[in-house]
Structure 1
Amino acid sequence: MKLLRFGEMNAEKPGVLDADGNIRDLSGVVGDIAGDVLSAEGLAKIAALDLNSLPVVDGNPRIGACVGHVGKFICIGLNYSDHAAEAGMQVPEEPVTFFKATSAICGPNDDIEIPRGSVKTDWEVELGVVIGKHTKYVSEEEALDHVAGYCVVNDLSERDFQLHRSGQWVKGKSADTFGPIGPWLVTRDEVEDPQNLSMYLDVNGHRYQDGSTKTMVFGVAQVISHLSQFMSLQPGDVISTGTPPGVGMGQKPETYLKPGDKMELGIEGLGVQKQVTYAAE
């Protein structure tokens, strides 16, 4: 299934995409794409519906983040061997872990705000993993059983804030609109192998990132298992699993986003995001 949320910011309704690409309104069935709805039982309830009996959403509504009420937005850094090489950094022995503020989350096609004082706002297409049930001390062998589904994430970053303003990376990762998620939450059963998905990102029609989850240092199961040794993961938590090479920081010369730039990014089977940047007032 491809689950989504549509409508105005902070007032999104739950929906599901039917076989013809129509959005069907799920608000009469579930309150949101969040919490227990993401459990195996919750997803089975939606899967059992006759989608033709659900109202069709007319027009072209705004698509919101595909998960609501995200508790934790966890990111993995330097998780692609080829990206670590372009950054001139060693492949880590354990997953590099940091958080983005959940206030950074926005819809997949919402405009992206370049923060005040920014000189190095950058892009990163990433595979997002949405947790479906309580996860603590889980083994790698069982880790994927705890996944509700997958989605596209653009892990936007202000590199100067991230690397040169002291403290943790979270400073450069958490500006408003720096976490577009979606368009769909594609349930786990529709993703045969999360370690074999092509991914890309274009800026102004130029392809900068053209990679695959094959080159992850730590695969999805390893990341989930590792994180669960240090914290419990809850339904609706989102893990952004790292980016392939081609980020602005890795260009020669370095290239960063400016107001009016247009991004397009996607992951095989998980949909496409399209965004336009603007300067914060």
Structure 2
Amino acid sequence: MAFVNLLHEGAARAAVPDGDHYRLLPSTGTLPDELGERIARGEDLPQLAQAATERVPAAAARFAPLLARPGKVVCLGLNYFDHAKEGGREKPTYPWFFLRAASSLLGHGEPAPLPAVSTQVDYEAELAVVIGRRGKAVRREQALDLVLGYACFNDLSVRDYQKKTPQWTIGKNFDASGAFGPALVLAEDLPPGGRDLRIQCRVNGQVMQDANTSSMIFGVAETIEILSECMVLEPGDVIVMGTPAGVGFARQPPVWLKDGDRVEVDIERVGCLANTVRRA
């Protein structure tokens, strides 16, 4: 089963795909109805889907970020060895974590702005993990019990700003630079830990990245174990699992995104996240 976060009547609203329509989950009336808030409140999404009747034609749908205001967005850098190698790095012995702010997120199909201050914007296809249960000091064997589901993420990186400092935060947090969606696919419908899934990035139809999630250095369960040593993971938190080789900065000559480019992140059985780059 899958869930999306639509822009509907001026607000984000959780919905479930149904053929050529989306069915909006029943409104709570006073509380936010977007997907992330409903996950944080512990609502039973499959049960709500059974009661969803209000329809939005798929052709008219616009998407908010899959979770509009996650509690935490924790990202991994260099989590595929080939990507670490193409950037001149050794294989990490501990995950390279960094954070993204909610203001950096972008919905499926929405324009991805090219910042006026940079000409070095790159693509990164990534698997995102959405947490559905609270956990602290979780052992690896139980870690996947915390996972609600998986989605696609495009970690659009402003490389010249990323390289201004050894901390990557500034280059990873430009407004609307983290495309997230289009759908949350429940963990029960995918292989444990989101492993053995083909992951691709295409720019204007050309395959730029092509790998398998089984090549991640730190898998989902191990990452949850490591993170939960130092922070509590809560429903609605997001972990973005890193990108494989083939990014633009490592190519000769480098490939930077330009106005009008269509970027697709396609993960087997999870979905295809697409955004067109536009000069801000």
TM-score (normalised: structure 1)? 0.91
Deviations 1:237-256 (A, max 9, x none): 11110001110012111111
Q: How many residues of Structure 1 are paired with residues of Structure 2 in the alignment? A: 275
In 1, distance between residues paired with 2:127 and 2:85?
19
- Indicate the residue corresponding to 2:99 in structure 1: 99
SS of residue paired to 2:257: coil
- Indicate the residue corresponding to 1:168 in structure 2: 167
- Indicate the residue corresponding to 2:35 in structure 1: 33
- The residue identity in structure 2 corresponding to 1:75 is C
Q: Quick check: 2:26–2:48 contact (8 Å CA) kept in 1?
A: no
Per the alignment, do residues 238 and 175 of structure 1 end up closer, same or farther by CA in structure 2, a change over 3 Å counting? same
Is 1:195 aligned with 2:195? yes
Per the alignment, do residues 166 and 237 of structure 1 end up closer, same or farther by CA in structure 2, a change over 3 Å counting? same
* Unaligned residue ranges in structure 2 (runs of 5+): none
In 2, distance between residues paired with 1:158 and 1:27?
39
- The residue identity in structure 2 corresponding to 1:57 is V
In 2, distance between residues paired with 1:209 and 1:154?
12
In 2, distance between residues paired with 1:208 and 1:9?
37
CA shift at 1:167, angstroms?
4.7
* Unaligned residue ranges in structure 1 (runs of 5+): none
SS of residue paired to 2:44: helix
Per the alignment, do residues 67 and 199 of structure 1 end up closer, same or farther by CA in structure 2, a change over 3 Å counting? same
- Indicate the residue corresponding to 2:124 in structure 1: 124
Mean CA deviation greater in 110-119 or 35-44: 35-44
In 2, distance between residues paired with 1:272 and 1:124?
14
SS of residue paired to 1:184: strand
In 2, distance between residues paired with 1:114 and 1:68?
21
SS of residue paired to 1:70: coil
Is 1:155 aligned with 2:155? yes
Mean CA deviation greater in 151-160 or 68-77: 68-77
Deviations 1:23-58 (A, max 9, x none): 1111336833124536776235336x266xx22213
- The residue identity in structure 1 corresponding to 2:72 is K
Is 1:252 aligned with 2:252? yes
Per the alignment, do residues 263 and 41 of structure 1 end up closer, same or farther by CA in structure 2, a change over 3 Å counting? closer
Q: Quick check: 1:35–1:235 contact (8 Å CA) kept in 2?
A: no
Deviations 1:53-96 (A, max 9, x none): x2221352102222232111110000001111211210110111
Per the alignment, do residues 35 and 225 of structure 1 end up closer, same or farther by CA in structure 2, a change over 3 Å counting? farther
Higher strand proportion (structure 1 or 2): 2
SS of residue paired to 1:12: strand
SS of residue paired to 1:249: helix
Identity of aligned residues (%): 37
Per the alignment, do residues 66 and 145 of structure 1 end up closer, same or farther by CA in structure 2, a change over 3 Å counting? same
Q: Quick check: 2:39–2:236 contact (8 Å CA) kept in 1?
A: no
In 2, distance between residues paired with 1:91 and 1:46?
44
- The residue identity in structure 1 corresponding to 2:134 is H
In 2, distance between residues paired with 1:14 and 1:43?
9
- Indicate the residue corresponding to 2:79 in structure 1: 79
- The residue identity in structure 1 corresponding to 2:71 is G
CA shift at 1:176, angstroms?
1.0
Is 1:220 aligned with 2:203? no
Per the alignment, do residues 231 and 11 of structure 1 end up closer, same or farther by CA in structure 2, a change over 3 Å counting? same
RMSD: 2.0
Aligned equivalent of 1:46, options 45, 48, 55? 48
Paired residues for 1:203-242 under 5 Å: 203-242=203-242
TM-score (normalised: structure 2)? 0.92
